């Protein structure tokens, strides 16, 4: 016959006391561990591939072209004793100017009115109105730069003394067709500068990280034209050359 000896039951209070003792012991051990084994500061992570920094430089490349487009700033004026009369004369002269320009081979879409004015003229006392002047200004795009002189001559014949000239602007119609060479030269220029800077700083130049192209300035050349230039037949006008420039900012890795 076996005899079962009952185990003493642990009360809730006893369990709580035991648990508190266990937690206290664990806390003390952790504190002792932290005092005896301080954690060393972590090392900064190494950069992949040995890259230690970057160099950013700007490069510039230029190509020279001959202008193939010109914008002639031309206009007409009319003076009369009344504003209405001045505007009527202006209307006649502006129609004559338009006919002359289109007759010289300029397309109607290449004519743009840029200014229309009517103002009073005064006597010696500065207050008495003596008349009115009406003026109109037109930009004519000429796609054959060799025809500029003949175009001015045709306008002079049609309008007479009321013709006004403000200037000629030359440009290149399709810069993208030649800017590729300028961009290539700009990148090469940036590479040369980066090599020089890296050598001066005792660094080794790495690969290109980024390239940003700068905004290109539209190529144009302005030539003022005197009002009496139209008095001669077909004034000689030289278009010269245009420099088209590309700029880039290039960032290189260094080590």
Closest CA to 174 of 218, 213, 127, 129: 218
Q: How far is CA 128 from CA 85, 118, 122, 131, 237, in A?
A: 18, 17, 5, 9, 42
CB 73 within 8 A of CB 167: yes
CB 192 within 8 A of CB 252: no
Query: Do residues 149 and 115 share a domain?
Result: yes
Query: Do residues 128 and 227 share a domain?
Result: yes
Q: How far is CA 178 from CA 7, 199, 222, in A?
A: 101, 33, 21
CATH number of the domain at 183, please: 3.30.110.170
pTM over 0.85: no
Q: What is the DSSP string of 122-146?
A: E-TTSSSEEEEEEEEEEEEEES-GG
β-pair partners for 63: 244
pLDDT in tens, the chain (255 residues): 444 444 445 444 444 444 444 444 444 444 443 444 444 444 444 445 565 799 999 999 999 999 999 999 999 999 999 999 999 999 999 999 999 999 999 999 999 999 999 999 999 999 999 999 999 999 999 999 999 999 999 999 999 999 999 999 999 999 999 999 999 999 999 999 999 999 999 999 999 999 999 976 666 666 565 444 434 445 678 888 999 999 999 999 999
Query: Do residues 191 and 233 share a domain?
Result: no
What is the span of the domain harbouring residue 233?
67-173+220-240
Query: Do residues 107 and 161 share a domain?
Result: yes
Q: How many structural domains does the chain have? A: 2
């Amino acid at each position: 016959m076996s005899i079962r000896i009952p185990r003493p039951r642990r009360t809730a209070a006893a369990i709580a006391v035991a648990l508190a003792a266990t937690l206290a012991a664990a806390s003390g051990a952790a504190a002792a561990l932290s005092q005896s084994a301080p954690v060393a500061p972590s090392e900064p992570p190494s950069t992949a591939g040995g890259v230690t920094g970057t160099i950013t430089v700007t490069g510039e490349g230029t190509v020279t072209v001959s202008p193939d487009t010109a914008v002639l700033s031309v206009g007409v004026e009319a003076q009369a004793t009344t504003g209405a009369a001045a505007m009527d004369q202006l209307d006649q002269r502006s129609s004559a100017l338009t006919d002359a320009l289109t007759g010289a081979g300029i397309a109607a879409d290449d004519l743009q009115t840029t200014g229309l004015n009517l103002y009073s003229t005064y006597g010696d006392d500065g207050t008495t109105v003596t008349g009115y002047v009406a003026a109109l200004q037109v930009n004519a795009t000429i796609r054959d730069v060799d025809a500029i002189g003949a175009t001015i001559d045709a306008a002079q014949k049609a309008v007479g003394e009321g013709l006004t000239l403000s200037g000629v602007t030359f440009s290149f119609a399709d810069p993208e067709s030649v800017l590729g060479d300028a961009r290539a030269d700009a990148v090469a220029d940036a590479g040369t500068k980066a090599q020089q800077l890296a050598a001066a700083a005792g660094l080794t130049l790495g690969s290109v990280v980024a390239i940003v192209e700068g905004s290109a300035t539209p190529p144009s050349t302005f030539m003022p034209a005197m009002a009496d230039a139209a008095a001669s037949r077909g004034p000689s006008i030289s278009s010269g050359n245009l420099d088209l420039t590309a700029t880039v900012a290039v960032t290189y890795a260094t080590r």
